[in-house]
Amino acid sequence: MQSLDAFARAKLAVLDAGGLRRTLVRTRRLDGPWVERNGKRYLSFSCNDYLNLTNHPAVKAAATEAIALYGTGAGASRLVTGDHPLMEELEGRLAAFKGTEAACVFSTGYAANTGTIPTFVGERDHLFIDERAHACIWAGARLSGAEAQAFRHNDLVDLERRLSAADPRGARLIVTEGVFSMDGDVAPLTALAKVAERYGAWLMTDDAHGVGVLAEGRGTGGLFPDARVDLQMGTLSKALASAGGYVCGSRAAIDLIKTRARTLVYSTGLPPASAAAALAALQIIERDPGLCALPLATARAFTRAANLPEATSAIVPVILGEPAAAMAAQAVLEAEGFLVVAIRPPTVPVGTARLRLAFSAGHPDDEIERLAACVRKFAA
């Protein structure tokens, strides 16, 4: 039998040959979107800290104070060690912010999706997932054992066709993203909620990239206030400048998650400092809609200057086709002092390798102009 090491080498060689190997690069985040890599200073467009709150004095102070008061780790699962008062406060504030009865906080967004989906669907049930949905939604689908179908991206006709053809027995859950993480476009939530209602399906959204950015920070749901969404998932790790994930929904739905979701039951709770940082960030978001408007305004300044379709969120894709083209563009921008990550299959469909730019409240206007001038050269 082949040794484990030989197996790993062979796998890596295949990835290298296809230009698909991923590696970690030591990078130190400095102030706001500026970073240091190999002794050089870069402006980064690869960070989801949309509001630059990870370095906000009030957010840092809240985390520091929580460590001083409560220590660093949660100690055990929330159900075992007892629930930290900060968790209850954070969940109450998230539910109020999203306009739901209750919320449940997990240790990551990944855990929120992989824990929530199997709570509501299992074998003999049906999942309908947007084909561009995040990897952790697909992971949750697999864990659930439900029959999972991908519907064409934001395509209500394809979704309806699949819903009407599905076995009428069993529960139906539609899962989509609010803002798509690799394309930056927005799901039509009002229309999706109507389709869900017509076919007796539940609707779940993942708004990791909408919260803090769209609709004065209220997220994609805030753009579609009349859409009925049963489960609104999100993460504390992006605009909320911390770590952790959450799901908002009815009291009963959240109570069921808290007794059934395996990633909550069998995983240690969020550290108190992460809860405190997220609470402080949430307070800033609620009080400062002007700050929340900056990432989209900056993304739009860029798309105008680069002659690209107008940005609809803080994420702008520049699609270049083959992995080699995306890697070459990444290198050109790096030489200009811009850190922009090339996204390749399998993260995005074959033939759509791209640069993915994430704009934040801290990107200076003159640098946006200079970046647009560079991008115009190879996006033409």
Which residues would be at the binding site for ligand PLP (CB under 6 A)?
A: 108-110, 113, 134, 136, 177, 181, 206, 208-209, 235, 237, 245
Q: Which of 238, 274, 360, 363 is catalytic?
A: 238
C-alpha atoms less than 13 angstroms from C-alpha of 163 in its C-beta half-sphere: 26
177 counts as catalytic: yes
Q: Can 126 be counted among the known catalytic residues?
A: no
Give me the least distance between CB of 233 and ligand PLP, in Å please. Answer: 8
Catalytic residue among 134, 144, 154, 207: 134
Catalytic residue (one of 52, 107, 154, 181): 181
- AA identity, residue 56: H
Tell me whether residue 110 or residue 359 sits nearer to ligand PLP (CB atom): 110
Q: Would residue 123 show up in a list of annotated catalytic residues for this protein?
A: no
Task: Report d(CA 64, CA 206) in Å as an integer.
Answer: 29
Query: Please, which residue, 70 or 110, has the CB nearer to ligand PLP?
Result: 110
Residue closest to ligand PLP, measured at CB: 109
363 annotated active-site: no
Marked catalytic residue, from 46, 48, 107, 360: 48
3-state secondary structure of 200: coil
In the complex, minimum distance from the CB of residue 107 to ligand PLP, in angstroms, rounded to a whole number: 9
Annotated catalytic residue, options 84, 98, 209, 363:
209
Q: How far is the CB of 251 from ligand PLP (least distance, A)?
A: 24
Q: Which two tokens stand for residue 280?
A: 């402080």
By beta-carbon proximity to ligand PLP, the closer residue of 146 and 315 is: 315
Planar angle of CA 207, 135, 362, nearest 5 degrees: 45
Residue 206 or 230 with smaller CB distance to ligand PLP: 206
Query: How many whole angstroms separate alpha carbon 233 and alpha carbon 94?
Result: 11
Q: How far is the CB of 132 from ligand PLP (least distance, A)?
A: 10
Of 118 and 372, the one with the shorter C-beta distance to ligand PLP is 118
Q: Which residues contact 253 (CB under 8 A, 6 or more apart)?
A: 102, 120, 230, 231
Least distance (Å) between residue 324 CB and ligand PLP: 26
Which of these is catalytic: 177, 185, 207, 230?
A: 177
Total length of the chain: 380
Determine contact, residues 363/298, Cβ cutoff 8 Å. yes
238 is catalytic: yes
Contact between residue 240 and residue 56 where contact means Cβ atoms under 8 Å apart: no
CA-nearest of 96, 102, 120 to 250 is 102
Gap between the Cα atoms of 28 and 9, Å rounded? 29
Tell me the CA distances in angstroms from 298 to 45, 75, 213, one per residue in order. 12, 41, 11
Long-range contacts of 302-310 (CB under 8 A, 24+ apart): 302/357, 302/359, 302/368, 302/371, 302/372, 305/368, 305/369, 305/372, 305/373, 306/371, 306/372, 306/375, 306/376, 306/379, 307/376, 307/379, 308/375, 308/379
Q: How far is the CB of 274 from ligand PLP (least distance, A)?
A: 10
By beta-carbon proximity to ligand PLP, the closer residue of 113 and 352 is 113
- Residues marked active site are found at 48, 134, 177, 181, 206, 209, 238
